[in-house]
Amino acid sequence: MNAANPATDNASPAAPDAVSFGEAFRFWLWLGFISFGGPAGQIAIMHTELVERRRWISEKRFLHALNYCMLLPGPEAQQLATYIGWLMHRTWGGIVAGALFVLPSLFILVALSWIYMRFGDVPVVAGIFYGIKPAVTALVLHAAHRIGGRALKNGWMWGIAALAFVAIFALHVPFPAIIGAAALIGYVGARLAPAAFAPGGSHGDTQRGYGPALIDDDTPTPAHARFSRVHLARLVVAGLGIWLAAMGVLVAVFGLDGALTRMGWFFSKAALLTFGGAYAVLPYVYQGAVEQHHWLTAAQMIDGLALGETTPGPLIMVVAFVGFVGGWAGQVLGPEALFVGGALAATVVTFFTFLPSFVFILAGGPLVEATHGRLGFTAPLSAVTAAVVGVILNLALFFAYHVLWPQGFGGRFDVGSAAIAVAAIVALFRFKVGVMPLLGGCAVAGLAVTTLR
């Protein structure tokens, strides 16, 4: 027994076998149905499955891709899945991985949105959402804590997060400007204090030994992932062509001022002008969808986020709820086809929200693959991640305001919502309760509070 142990301990695990497209397809489909927990939870699931358990990609390559995705506008978890699928199985691998990350959530959200619009005024349903809203506030706060725990590894990163919070909360600086400033700080900081901006610290110890990976640290970049100006130009032209064709159909059918056309245009801008993942994009979506276009109310927006938290897929899929409610309320296909109109609007919004993400990954991936270990590239990404923490904290306060003072500061303080929020925070931070049990418990609590009133 003792003689056998050293041999076992010293034996190096073999690299995993090549993964077929069919095997990868089944994995991405399975991931699309179990990817709960928002971007932090989804990234953790992918890290566990792809880096630790299956060893399809090494941790350093995984984190390098993640930092790039966090710099981009759009949902970083979905973009990360697209990136890894593309790296493994070329363009179609990326399209399949990214699409399957989204489609299950779209179908589920369309069904839940219909239930919400059809039965939302029923006291039982209203009570459930009364309890879920404070839970959403706690989840956003917890997301800031989780991401901050990885990103705020030293005083530089804490300072960037604090400046980002002050800029967006007190000075109302546009988020793209905050991201640009953070990237500039990272670029300059890499020269002044390179150790502080070195990659890895924001995600824990990158030297853990999970064994050799299929795409390892020293695995040569595959031919399809090497940079080519011609290939880049083709992808950009293809992406623009698809967008123009889709917009052309909407204009031809619904006109320039049609609700679906305006949704396509607005969410195209949202996809291009918002950075830092779902929690950072929501204030922009709120401003446009609620205050500018009046597709839904502020209360409905928070309810939509609650639904987004209860479904798999990226949290930014709340835009499908926004589209469904806007299409239903606006009767885009007439009063006799409310469900079909809402479902169509949800599909249109989802398409225009995610199209740029595919273009960014498929076109920019080769550039990222050429930058392994280059601090000049990774340092701005680390700084951007730190800035996002401050923005998410601002979003938590934004939701807390609407939940605790539903009529504004001049109205009453909602003691019931405050009690549920405090309980949710304790459950998340102290007892590490999962998202689904938390939402279930808060829904029951909300139902109890509204019943006893």
List the domain boundaries for the chain: 103-217+225-452
Q: Are 319 and 285 in contact (CB under 8 A)?
A: yes
Name the residue type at position 329.
A
Q: Are 366 and 90 in contact (CB under 8 A)?
A: no
Examine the pLDDT at 432 and tell me if it is beyond 70. yes
pLDDT of residue 362: 93
From 93-102, 277-286, 393-402, the region with the lowest mean pLDDT: 277-286
Q: What is the DSSP letter of 256?
A: T
Q: Whose structure tokens read 């030293």? A: 154
pLDDT of residue 331: 94
Higher pLDDT, 4 or 113: 113
From 97-111, 281-295, 303-317, 432-446, the region with the lowest mean pLDDT: 303-317
pLDDT of residue 99: 96
Helix/strand/coil for 4? helix
Q: What percent of the chain has pLDDT over 70?
A: 89
410: tokens are 């001049």
Mean pLDDT, the chain, as a whole number? 84
Cα separation of 68 and 374, whole Å? 13
Q: How large is the angle between the packed helices 59-71 and 76-100, nearest 10 degrees?
A: 100
Examine the pLDDT at 370 and tell me if it is beyond 80. no
Mean pLDDT of 44-56: 85
Q: Are 199 and 67 in contact (CB under 8 A)?
A: yes
Cα separation of 290 and 296, whole Å? 5
Examine the pLDDT at 434 and tell me if it is beyond 70. yes
Mean pLDDT of 429-437: 84
For the CA atoms of 215, 221, 222, 223, what is the dihedral angle to 10 degrees? Answer: 180
How far lies 447's CA from each of 323, 374, 406, 427, 437, in Å?
27, 53, 17, 19, 15
pLDDT of residue 207: 40
Higher pLDDT, 203 or 390: 390
pLDDT of residue 106: 94
